[in-house]
């Protein structure tokens, strides 16, 4: 018997499926009570200001999307480098304007494909990238000088960035022309996403090394994307998502400042990344409040005066845990609403999840539909015609003010605890998020939050229609391992060991930047696992505080 056929709770009896949903809540999902009418006096003191001027409530650009639309950046990657290269070329043909590389878990956690820890994981949630040989295949026939590339990579971000630079060096693309982003936000990995490797303090050093090196070598590249998306998907509210993210951002600013760097310069290249979930106005207000608060915090706490350094640039993903496996076609509608929220909030790049993303790697069909959603909103809806079209709305300005107050409280709480680094080492943030996720799940189970097709309005027969199924190439792991063996056999072992030794020495010296050593290792065909092992040798590994 199929285990899913057994009777279950809220999804259970026909009577339960047909029960009446509660009336729409008067509070936002973050718990902000919303009045029936917002009157002009309730938002009279709002710092609305002008688009393009600090604190940028309305937009970081004076002309909004008129100068340039957001980047359509569809996250993709699976299997081997050749398979992913083929999907990228498909997406580019369909009009995607930025690549977004998904990497598999062994690459993200610093294990080579032939490591026992990698068994069963190669190419599963992204592409396997063990050496520069794979990276060259991944970007074959793609001009890195003209297309921006973003990498969702954290624990091994510095290594993958080094590999990207090495590929550009070999294909003759000047480093100064490279655009794109590495996520490189290790703090949230300890809290929500789990691809940490080293302890918190040496990880912060590695992040700072890569940012400082990138500012110098690839000035148009974003060396970090400080991400709230993952804590949000783990169960946080929109307020907490923004609060934890800005707090992490401030921790990186402190780390970089302690290295003698000027925030008026490096802050120009800090970028952010969030989820958009379904509560449209709260999401818009979250982005407007976050944009304003970031500018204010940098000015208040770090004396930043250059307006370019106060600009809060962010990408988003629409979908994630707001999507359901039940009645999956409804997800197309959800993603469209979220996409509109992202545009009204002023996002610089948008990734729309495919409707089947809740349960599988998207098929070519569903991936194309997700991209079409963005194109329809960009070119048919007219929503991007004028900058910040909701600016001056009594409700939106009032909610923006309330969100900013609540977000500040989250940051203040972490400050009182002794900073995010300590809160993470102790497991304080992790425990808060788990408790929040538990309460949210209980609320959903009780029917307090309506998810159409999941806890209400279920049972129309659409449930079983999953559409096309994506089939992973079962042979990927074997082929990736075989090619790694070939690379190891062909490379100059003396060079590899010499460069790895130099990397290890650099890691031991706190005044040294490890980035150039990583680039040398990549050129010599050292593997991600070998580089990580050398760094672990000196820095050790993070010890996860397990607290429920």
Contact residues toward another protein (CB under 8 A) are 2-4, 6-12, 105-106, 108-109, 111, 116-121, 124-125, 189, 192-196, 233-235, 321, 324-326, 358-361, 433-435, 437-438, 441-442, 445, 454, 466, 469, 472, 544, 546, 548
Nearest approach, Cβ of residue 225 and another protein (Å)? 17
**Which positions ≥6 away from 245 have C-beta within 8 Å?**
188, 226, 227, 228, 231, 272, 274, 290
Nearest approach, Cβ of residue 330 and another protein (Å)? 13
Pick 133 or 433: Cβ nearer another protein: 433
**What Å distances lie between residue 85 and 76, 79, 138, 357, CA to CA?**
10, 10, 5, 20
**Which positions ≥6 away from 119 have C-beta within 8 Å?**
none
C-alpha torsion sign, points 386, 391, 394, 396: positive
Nearest approach, Cβ of residue 268 and another protein (Å)? 31
Pick 38 or 358: Cβ nearer another protein: 358
Provide the b/e sequence for 207-228 (b: ≥16 CB within 10 Å): bbbbbbbbbebbeebbbbbbbb
Nearest approach, Cβ of residue 475 and another protein (Å)? 14
Pick 179 or 360: Cβ nearer another protein: 360
Pick 196 or 314: Cβ nearer another protein: 196
Short-list 199, 171, 180, 155, CA closest to 528? 155
Secondary structure (3-state) at 496 = helix
Pick 486 or 544: Cβ nearer another protein: 544
Q: Are 56 and 310 in contact (CB under 8 A)?
A: yes
Nearest approach, Cβ of residue 136 and another protein (Å)? 25
Angle between helices 157-171 and 515-523 (to 10 degrees): 60
Nearest approach, Cβ of residue 388 and another protein (Å)? 33
Nearest approach, Cβ of residue 446 and another protein (Å)? 9
Q: Is it true that the peptide bond before 55 is cis, omega within 30 degrees of 0?
A: yes
What's the alpha-carbon Rg for the chain, to the nearest Å? 23
Burial status of residue 4 (CB atoms within 10 A of its CB: 0-12, 13-18, 19 or more) = exposed
Residue tagged 């921006």 (tokens): 148
Secondary structure (3-state) at 390 = coil
Nearest approach, Cβ of residue 152 and another protein (Å)? 12
Pick 64 or 123: Cβ nearer another protein: 123
Nearest approach, Cβ of residue 328 and another protein (Å)? 11
Pick 235 or 346: Cβ nearer another protein: 235
Nearest approach, Cβ of residue 447 and another protein (Å)? 10
Short-list 4, 10, 135, 60, CA closest to 445? 10
Tokens representing 203?
């990880």
Question: How far is Cα of residue 173 from the mean position of the Cα atoms in its chain?
Answer: 26
Pick 11 or 393: Cβ nearer another protein: 11
Distance CA 501, CA 532 (A): 12
Would you give the DSSP letter of residue 147? S
Pick 374 or 527: Cβ nearer another protein: 527
Pick 7 or 494: Cβ nearer another protein: 7
Residue tagged 């062909």 (tokens): 490
Pick 38 or 437: Cβ nearer another protein: 437
Nearest approach, Cβ of residue 185 and another protein (Å)? 13
C-alpha torsion sign, points 58, 61, 65, 69: negative
**Per DSSP, which regions of 375-489 are E strands?**
none
Tell me the β-bridge partners of 101: 76, 151
As separate numbers, helices (DSSP H) first and strands (DSSP E) second, the chain gives: 20, 9
Nearest approach, Cβ of residue 233 and another protein (Å)? 7
Q: Are 524 and 408 in contact (CB under 8 A)?
A: no
The string of DSSP letters for 346-369 reads: T-SEEEEPPTTTTTSPPPHHHHHH
Pick 84 or 149: Cβ nearer another protein: 84
Pick 124 or 538: Cβ nearer another protein: 124
Nearest approach, Cβ of residue 77 and another protein (Å)? 13
């Amino acid at each position: 018997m199929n285990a899913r056929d057994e009777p279950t709770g809220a999804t259970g009896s026909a009577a339960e499926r047909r029960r009446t949903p509660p009336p729409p809540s008067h509070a936002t999902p973050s718990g902000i009570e919303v009045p029936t009418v917002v009157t002009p006096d309730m938002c009279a003191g709002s710092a609305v200001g002008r688009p393009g001027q600090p604190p940028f409530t309305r937009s970081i650009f004076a002309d909004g999307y008129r100068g340039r639309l957001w980047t359509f950046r569809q996250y993709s990657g699976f299997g081997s480098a050749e398979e992913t290269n083929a999907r990228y070329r498909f997406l580019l043909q369909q009009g995607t304007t930025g690549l977004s590389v998904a990497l598999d878990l062994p690459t993200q956690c610093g294990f080579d494909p032939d490591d026992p820890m990698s068994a069963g994981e190669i190419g599963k949630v992204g592409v396997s990238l063990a050496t520069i040989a794979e990276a060259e295949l991944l970007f074959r026939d793609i001009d890195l000088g003209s297309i921006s590339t973003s990498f969702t990579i954290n624990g091994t971000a510095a290594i993958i960035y080094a590999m990207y630079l090495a590929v550009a060096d070999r294909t003759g693309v000047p480093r100064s022309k490279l655009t794109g982003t590495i996520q490189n936000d290790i703090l949230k990995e300890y809290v929500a996403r789990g691809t940490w490797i080293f302890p918190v303090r040496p990880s912060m050093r590695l992040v700072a090394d890569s940012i400082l090196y990138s500012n110098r070598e690839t000035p148009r590249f974003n060396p970090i994307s400080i991400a709230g998306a993952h804590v949000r998907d783990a169960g946080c509210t929109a307020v907490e998502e923004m609060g934890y993210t800005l707090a992490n951002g401030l921790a990186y600013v402190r780390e970089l400042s302690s290295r003698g760097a000027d925030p008026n310069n490096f802050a120009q290249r800090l970028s952010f990344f969030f989820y958009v979930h379904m509560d449209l106005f709260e999401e818009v207000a979250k982005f407007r409040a976050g944009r304003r608060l970031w500018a204010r915090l940098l000015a208040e706490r770090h004396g930043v005066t250059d307006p370019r350094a106060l600009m809060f640039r962010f990408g988003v993903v629409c979908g994630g845990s707001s999507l359901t496996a039940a009645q999956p076609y409804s997800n197309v509608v959800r993603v469209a609403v979220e996409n509109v929220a992202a545009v009204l909030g002023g996002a610089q790049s948008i990734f729309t999840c495919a409707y089947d993303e809740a349960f599988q790697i998207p098929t070519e069909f569903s991936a194309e539909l997700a991209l079409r959603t963005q194109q329809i909103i960009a070119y048919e809806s007219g929503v991007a015609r004028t900058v910040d079209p909701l600016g001056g709305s009594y409700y939106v300005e009032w909610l923006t003010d309330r969100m900013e107050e609540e977000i500040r409280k989250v940051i203040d709480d972490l400050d009182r605890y002794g900073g995010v680094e300590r809160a993470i080492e102790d497991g304080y943030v992790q425990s808060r998020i788990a408790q929040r996720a538990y309460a949210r799940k209980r609320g959903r189970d009780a029917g307090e939050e309506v998810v159409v097709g999941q806890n209400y309005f279920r049972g129309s027969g659409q449930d079983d229609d999953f559409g096309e199924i994506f089939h992973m190439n079962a042979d990927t792991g074997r082929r990736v391992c075989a090619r790694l063996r070939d690379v190891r056999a062909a490379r100059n072992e003396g060079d590899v060991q010499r460069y790895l030794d130099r990397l290890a020495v650099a890691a031991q010296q706190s005044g040294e930047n490890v980035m150039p050593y990583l680039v040398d290792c990549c050129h010599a065909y050292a593997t991600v696992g070998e580089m990580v092992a050398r760094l672990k040798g000196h820095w050790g590994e993070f010890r996860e505080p397990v607290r429920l």
